[in-house]
Amino acid sequence: MTAPPAAAPRPASAARPPDGLAEVYREHHDFMWRSLRRLGVDEADVEDAVHDAFLVVARRLADFEGRSSLRTWLFAIAMRVAQSRRRDHQREVHHLRRYELSVAPRSPADPQTRHETAVTLHQLLAGLDDDQRAVFIMIELENMTAPEIAAALDLKLPTVYSRLRLARQAMQRAVARYLARTKEKPR
């Protein structure tokens, strides 16, 4: 079967406009949830952050021009929501400390379980600069291409590659420090 002759080819980075918010939500809820969690939103707050992100999508869906893929556009929204959440969280922690409220410490992580491995990953990701973290997540965890990321984040392609290189180096150092801390010492 051949494509209709009247259809003009789109650039590779262009995406078809979504049919509606319900379709976008159905197809991309899990992606938005994963992205927000990986961008540093606390697990207990992820559903609220997803809700906030889709409120932005609802307001701006008509403005989506298809210059990038829908996923990269959604990731850019997730990145801004996560940044806002982290700023709010930092303010809250500051106020809690100011009034000397204590929070019970969490139990030590057991790296053998899937949940705790995810927690460790999020801790390592939290050590990255926001811009580097976004590029690292998009490429390494969501398998997006550098040109898609450049379009979504309005960056030059060399900037994307530079941030990725710096993020990979930082992650290698963080993983090495983590492994050195958790490695059992001989008796």
pLDDT of residue 8 exceeding 50, the answer is no
Topology classification of domain 21-182: Butyryl-CoA Dehydrogenase, subunit A; domain 3 (1.20.140)
What is this structure's pTM? 0.54
pLDDT averaged over every residue in the chain? 79
Q: State the pLDDT confidence band at 176, using cuts at 50, 70 and 90.
A: confident
**How far is residue 109 from each of residues 37, 103, 118, 149, measured CA to CA in Å?**
18, 17, 10, 33
- Alpha-carbon distance of 116 to 145, in angstroms, equals 29
What integer is the mean pLDDT of 38-50? 90
Of the two residues 154 and 18, the one the predictor is more confident about is 154
Residue 35 tokens read as: 């992205």
What integer is the mean pLDDT of 20-47? 92
Q: How confident is the model over 100-147, as pLDDT tens digits?
A: 433 334 444 444 567 777 777 888 888 888 899 999 988 888 888 899
pLDDT of residue 33 exceeding 90, the answer is yes
Report how far Cα 187 is from the mean position of its chain's Cα atoms. 41
Q: How many CB atoms lie within 10 A of CB 80?
A: 14
pLDDT of residue 186 exceeding 80, the answer is no
Of the candidates 63, 54, 65, 66, the one whose C-alpha atom is nearest the C-alpha of residue 21 is 54
Q: State the pLDDT confidence band at 95, using cuts at 50, 70 and 90.
A: low
pLDDT of residue 1 exceeding 60, the answer is no
